[in-house]
Every structure is written in structure tokens, then in C-alpha cells.
């Protein structure tokens, strides 16, 4: 796939999508959002791809947010449509049948932080910085930051970041549960690929059902979510992967999943 603002590369079952606008701190314009939508739609359909890594070009910025130069004079309806376009992309990433790992190599601010939160897992370099500084611009987050942030780190911590617009470092982001792990900058992509390859080695039917159970279950009350999990658990027993996995365990050999 060839894009103006993205690089898409594949190594075995792992695809890497790089936002490639380093001169603009990898900020997200209308065109970049549309390209990302196209890229993720294509990768989700590709049965050879099992895990997707999302990162930013260069060492300074993952994604610094929305393109403020394009946003400054937007009429209200254009601003709403911009937010809806971004929300649709982030929802696609969150609901993607394949695990998505954010490899956060620098600033993840505003829309960049919201983008990272839509991914399943987040690995940050020691130089990464996070924040929702929209209040400093006289606006609020518009790409679901007011919803995903409190779900990840709790209401009180989320409101403090949203009210103050403060930026936090990678260590603090890890402490409050915003990222899964922090690694040296020169090891970021290597560690992301190791994790991606480990996940890719599992049965992908089960991986997809885990995403369904977690994402959908979070929107249900506890009793419904537990029942939903039982339904998905039972569904696993209709798959070849379940038979292979249990047979391999009982015979003390490595399972060879076929993702069906």
C-alpha cells in the first residue's frame, strides 16, 4: 500500500503502520485520517496479517494531535465532522479483529493520546510524553478522550489531566496504567515486534474472541458480561484451534494453530 502520509510495512504476520509527517510532528490531518482508515480496513481483511503495530516517524513524536493549523478556523460543523471522522477511525482500531499495539516513540498529545488509547496495548519509549492539552486551546477532547481516559486510569486521574492539560512522562503514564510498559527508546520497535510475534503465535480465533469479550463486556453490567463470556467460551469449542490446542497440551507438544 502506498500513501502520502503513512508507511505500511510487513514482516511475516506483523504489519507496522507509521504515521509519516515528522515535519508536522506527525499531527493528523483530514487526509491522514482517511489514509489510516483505508490502511486499517485493508490490513484487517488480510488473513496473513495477525498483529498490527502503530507508531510515528522519527524520534520526537508519536502523534502530536490533530493538525491545529487546519483546525484553527474550522466552522462548527466542519469541526464536528473532523471529530466524527477521527472517532470512526479510532473505533475501527479498537474493534479491529487483530490486536493493535501502539509503539509510542515521543509526544502523544491530544488526538495522539486518544489514538494510542484506542489500541489494545501501549508500549512507550522512555522519551514518550502524554497529555490531553485541549483545555489550553479553549476546547475539549473530541476523539473520545473524555471517555477512554477515565476507563483506562480512573475518573479522578483522568479529570486532573483533562482539567489541567498537564503533560506526563512515560514513567508516570506507566504508574497510572495508561501504558503497559516502558522501554529504552532504541529498543521500542524491537520490543513491540517481540510482543506482536508472541501474540501472532496464538490461535487468532481465540484472540479475536478475547477482544470481543473485553470490549463488549465493558459496556455491559457484570451479570450480562459474565454470561456473554460463557457464550464466547462455548463458541471456542466449535473451532479446530480448540481441538488442536487441547490435544497438543495433553500430548505435551507445541500447538500448531490454523486460525479456524
**What are the catalytic residues?**
114, 134
Q: How far apart are CA 241 and CA 142, in angstroms?
A: 40
Q: How far apart are CA 105 and CA 187, in angstroms?
A: 10
Contact between residue 242 and residue 233 where contact means Cβ atoms under 8 Å apart: no
Q: How far apart are CA 137 and CA 158, in angstroms?
A: 18
All residues at 6 or more sequence positions from 58 whose CB lies less than 8 Å from its CB, including other chains:
22, 26, 105, 106
In 3-state terms, what secondary structure has residue 128?
A: coil
Contact between residue 86 and residue 33 where contact means Cβ atoms under 8 Å apart: yes
Backbone dihedral angles phi then psi of residue 3, each to the nearest 5 degrees: -135, 160
Amino acid at each position: 500500500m502506498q500513501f502520502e502520509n503513512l508507511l505500511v510495512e510487513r514482516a511475516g504476520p506483523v504489519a507496522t503502520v507509521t504515521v509519516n509527517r515528522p515535519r508536522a510532528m506527525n499531527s493528523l490531518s483530514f487526509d491522514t485520517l482517511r489514509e489510516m482508515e483505508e490502511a486499517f480496513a485493508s490490513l484487517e481483511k488480510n488473513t496473513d496479517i495477525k498483529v498490527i503495530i502503530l507508531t510515528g516517524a522519527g524520534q520526537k513524536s508519536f502523534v502530536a494531535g490533530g493538525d491545529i493549523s487546519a483546525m484553527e478556523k474550522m466552522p462548527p460543523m466542519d469541526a464536528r465532522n473532523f471529530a466524527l471522522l477521527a472517532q470512526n477511525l479510532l473505533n475501527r482500531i479498537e474493534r479491529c479483529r487483530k490486536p493493535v499495539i501502539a509503539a509510542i516513540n515521543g509526544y502523544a498529545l491530544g488526538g495522539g493520546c486518544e489514538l494510542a488509547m484506542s489500541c489494545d496495548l501501549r508500549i512507550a519509549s522512555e522519551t514518550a510524553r502524554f497529555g490531553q492539552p485541549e483545555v489550553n486551546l479553549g476546547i475539549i477532547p473530541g476523539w473520545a478522550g473524555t471517555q477512554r481516559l477515565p476507563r483506562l486510569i480512573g475518573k479522578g486521574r483522568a479529570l486532573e489531566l483533562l482539567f489541567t492539560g498537564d503533560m506526563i512522562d512515560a514513567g508516570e503514564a506507566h504508574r497510572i496504567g495508561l501504558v503497559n510498559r516502558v522501554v529504552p527508546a532504541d529498543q521500542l520497535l524491537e520490543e513491540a515486534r517481540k510482543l506482536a510475534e508472541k501474540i501472532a503465535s496464538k490461535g487468532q480465533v481465540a484472540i479475536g474472541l478475547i477482544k470481543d469479550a473485553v470490549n463488549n463486556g465493558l459496556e455491559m453490567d457484570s451479570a450480562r458480561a459474565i454470561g456473554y463470556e460463557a457464550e464466547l467460551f462455548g463458541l471456542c469449542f466449535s473451532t479446530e484451534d480448540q481441538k488442536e490446542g487441547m490435544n497438543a497440551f495433553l500430548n505435551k507438544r507445541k500447538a500448531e494453530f490454523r486460525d479456524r
